Structure 1
Amino acid sequence: MADDDRSPEDEFQELIRQLFGGGAGGIDPEQLSRLAGMNIDPAMMQTVMAHLQGAFAGGPEGGISWELAQRQALHIANQDGLGVTASQQTDLDQAFALATLWLSEATTISDLPAPPKTLTRGGWVEATLPVWQQLAEPVATSIADALTSALSDQAPEDMQGLVQGAGRLMRTVGGSLFASQLGQVVGSLSKEVVSGGDVGIPLMPDGEAAILPQNFADFGRDLEVPEDQLALYVATRELAHARLFRHARWLRLHVISQVTEFARGVHVDTDALEELASRFDPAAPEELRSALESGALLPARSEAQNAALARLENLLATIEGWVDIVTADATSRLPSADRIAEAVRRRRAVGGPAERALGSLVGLELRPRRMREAAAMWRAVTDAVGPTGRDALWDYPDLMPGAADIDDPSALVARLEARARGEEPAPDEFDDALAKLLAGDEPGADAAEDAGEGDSPEDGAPDDHRPV
């Protein structure tokens, strides 16, 4: 039968036989590219082929081609071929220098050890991709596992022998599909972000701040504000974000662990995947690509995921609210500061197309929905105890305000004001519970005493000498 007369099912079965029969070196890259449904250049296709051959040669179990994600992201980010001009470099260096001085007047958190950078879109991809990989890996593993199971279940009976024992290869193919989609999203995101902290999570290496001049120019095009004022505001905000994460060393791990905690709870909708696999047409693979991009393979969030998402949103809002207030105080000299600040807040609340695509891909939207409420809390704290008392709340994790403080900052303000006066703050529910615990009044204490397991003169202090 001529190649042109083969049905899509025949073509798919032939590809599977080539894969599982040990002939990865003979697979036509164009055929695999059609199966993946992605517009990948030949260099990227060679990466996929090498990864498949590595799987046959006994490579790492379940390896995911993050190199493919990087190639895909850089391919998109570097399409315009533009770098940073000398004029852009000079203007942003001056903005960073003045922003550093202004910021030092608004916060007690110290300056960065390294000078801020101006990055191309490709430079941003290379700097941030390790964090994207860390955040996306739990979801990529889940999709690869589910794809392995679904395609095995849908394989014809006469091919089950070939499919069995090929789990590593199928995980590699599924993981590579996801990695390529992640690369497309990150590459597209590189055309939207203005600075290193623009997404709200610590993507840049510790202690580094950066602005992307290409995207900065696009951001300011429709704002109708002087470019030098916009540069000063964006530089100040970026430095505030980077300073905070460098000062509170625990904060970076705290944010990333909450994101990965959410991502580990993401599981693929196996029914949707099996239904997709049952009608999968290798001649028209766009449906699989569309399912990955739209999030159709991710089921509705569980209660545990909703709780994890609420904790993450509160954490991001607390961070962004502090950055917002410190930036506002530092840029109070700028006539257009309020207008720029409102544009930044709206932009963060809405997100761009690539950010929305990221949400569909991993089921997570990194938007601080409560940033205005958190900013109001930080403003109340600043008015009450000043920048020094406010910034001290970032010294230790247990000092950081929580969701209840965002809802009603009055109790937090009262405690901070009492401490500033040298007074003991009024006890709260935690203090009362701790006092009862130390006094031996925990629930069940009476029952334990009735069973002969309570305090005795030999076991500890008499009742009238218990600490209070």
Structure 2
Amino acid sequence: MSANMVDWELAVALGSRVAGDGPAVSTGEAQEVVTGLRADAERSTGLVRDYTGLVAEERTAPVLVVNRAGWVEANAAAFSTVMDPVVARLTEAKGAPSGLSQALGSRVTGAEVGLLLGFLGSRVLGQFDPFHDPSGRLLLVAPNIVHAERQIRADPADFRLWVCLHEETHRVQFTAVPWMREHLFAQVQDLVDTVEPTRMAEDLVAGASRLLRGGGSLLDVVGTPEQREVLDRVTGVMSLLEGHADVVMDGVGPSVIPSVAQIRRAFDRRRQGVGVLDRLLRRLLGLEAKMAQYRDGAKFVRGVVAKVGMEEFNAVWAAPEHLPSRAEIGDPSAWVARVLG
């Protein structure tokens, strides 16, 4: 049903053009990068298991090395999956639009989504896509990895393995913790259930006004108390997942990546954005909040592991109720007291 509201073909075509092809590489180098990333992802599975104790019984979620257009297409499909229930709710409340308004509206929305995907598609290094059936999939964006390693002047072999350690940790999180995928789906459904179609326009206008005054991000555009409660839960989960992956990539790193310390310092500088426009877009798209998830989540994981060790920390994966709240992300001792007693 979301296809009637968003011109996904336009979104993918525009997003691919905006993202571009990435850095110039020869055919031979491109093949070497793809082969190497697949090998690094395979190698990372055992490294993540040995460091964390998490065991993914089988590679049910495939690893795909893609170009920027491939990432845009994959995420358009994921966006469509997420938007289906929202669109269904809006259509139920307001009825289907006329043919002309629907066609015009879908192209406008498709262009907006395409611009967003294009901006992100030129920057994302890798991503676990939990919405792809049946068990999700891991995407490694080869041209962006090459661009980043050149930008920070990292050793290519070290940097590629370092990235794969982070992304493979996400794949292991979802395949070794079988309830995690459905739990995230449930959070999305909870967010959809808070949508009040008759108030959406007012919320969007108010949110846009806040943005123009320099406050908040697009994540704040729709922010009823019910939605904020759900977003707090999602923030806690995502902070855990991102922070855990950062801890793993840095924890494993010294034993297999000689230049890991230099890579981390240079990469953290890169995460801050390289120009005024880039920093503005990151704030508007909520990417500054994403950076906070890496930082705060990693501090939480390190804080808990320092107190009780990795084996006891793994109680976090035992059940949804063991996940940290947003408040507990900032207070590891509170999580330890609640979950481990």
TM-score w.r.t. structure 1 length?
Answer: 0.56
**Deviation at 1:128?**
2.6
One-letter amino acid of the counterpart of residue 156, structure 2: E
Closer, same or farther in 2 for the Cα pair 1:104/1:248, shift >3 Å?
A: closer
Aligned partner of 1:267 in structure 2 is 200
Question: Secondary structure at 2:292's aligned position in 1?
Answer: coil
Q: 1:66 aligns with which of 1, 4, 8?
A: 8
**Which whole-Å CA distance do the structure 1 matches of 2:235 and 2:272 have between them?**
12
Shift of 1:379: 1.7
Measured in 1, the distance between the counterparts of 2:306 and 2:259 equals 23
5+ long unaligned stretches in structure 2: 207-216
Mapping for residues 124-163 of structure 1, pairs under 5 Å: 124-136=71-83
Could you tell me the percent identity over the aligned residues? 24
Per the alignment, residue 317 of structure 1 pairs with 239
Contact 2:235 2:326 in 1 (8 A): no
**Which is worse superposed, 225-234 or 91-100?**
91-100
Query: For the residues of structure 2 that align with 1:395 and 1:271, how far apart are their CA atoms?
Result: 38
Structure showing greater radius of gyration is: 1
Q: 2:43 aligns with which of 90, 93, 98?
A: 98
Which of 307, 310, 313 is the aligned partner of 1:390? 313
1:189 equivalent in alignment to 2:112: no
Residue 464 of structure 1 is matched in structure 2 by: none
Q: Does 1:254 align with 2:183?
A: yes
Distance 1:302 1:339, change over 3 A: farther
Q: 1:108 to 1:207 in 2, by over 3 A?
A: farther
Q: Find the partner of 1:243 among 172, 192, 205.
A: 172
Q: Distance in 1 between matches of 2:287 and 2:92?
A: 20
TM-superposed deviation, 1:242? 1.2
Q: Is 1:121–2:68 an aligned residue pair?
A: yes
Higher mean C-alpha deviation, range 93-102 or range 263-272: 263-272
Deviations, residues 370-404 of structure 1 (Å, cap 9, x unaligned): 44333222123323443333223213111222234
Contact 1:262/1:308, CA 8 A, preserved across alignment:
yes
Deviations 1:61-109 (A, max 9, x none): 9554333323333454566798882221233234234323322210222
> Which segments of 5 or more consecutive residues in structure 1 lack a partner in the other structure?
1-58, 150-164, 274-294, 418-424, 426-468
Deviation at 1:237, TM superposition (A): 0.5
2:98 equivalent in structure 1? 167
Q: Which amino acid aligns with 1:223?
A: I
* Contact 1:106-1:330 at 8 Å conserved across structures: yes
- 8 Å contact kept, 1:351–1:367: no
> Is residue 249 of structure 2 the alignment partner of residue 327 of structure 1?
yes
1:157 is aligned to none
Higher relative contact order (Cα pairs below 8 Å, separated by 6+ residues): 2
* Counterpart-to-counterpart distance in 2, 1:300 and 1:127: 25
C-alpha separation in 1, matches of 2:71 and 2:339: 40
CA contact (8 A) 2:37 2:65 kept: yes
Query: 1:218 offset after TM fit, Å?
Result: 1.0
Between structures 1 and 2, the one with greater helix share: 2
Report the Cα distance in structure 2 between the residues aligned to 1:398 and 1:170, rounded to whole angstroms. Answer: 45
SS at match of 2:112: helix
In the other structure, the counterpart of 2:210 is none
Aligned length: 318
Report SS of the residue matched to 2:152. Answer: coil
* 1:143, distance to aligned residue in structure 2 (A): 9.5
SS of the residue 2:303 aligns to: helix
Q: Against the structure 1 CA distance between its residues 356 and 391, is the aligned structure 2 distance closer, same or farther, given a 3 Å change threshold?
A: farther
* Partner-residue secondary structure (3-state), 1:109: coil
Q: Which residue of 1 aligns with 2:110?
A: 179
Q: Over aligned residue pairs, what C-alpha RMSD do you find? A: 4.3
Q: For 2:19 and 2:179, how far apart are their aligned partners in 1?
A: 31
Inter-CA distance 405–98: structure 2 relative to 1 (3 Å threshold) = same
- For residue 118 of structure 1, give the secondary structure of its aligned residue in structure 2: strand
Q: Please tell me whether the aligned partners of residues 110 and 247 of structure 1 are also in contact (alpha carbons under 8 angstroms).
A: yes
Matches within 5 A, 1:9-88: 63-77=5-19, 85-88=30-33
Local SS of the residue matching 2:54: coil
Distance in 2, Cα, partners of 1:414 & 1:79: 50
Q: How far apart are 1:233 and its partner, in Å?
A: 0.5
Distance 2:249 2:3 in 1: 47
CA contact (8 A) 1:321 1:372 kept: yes
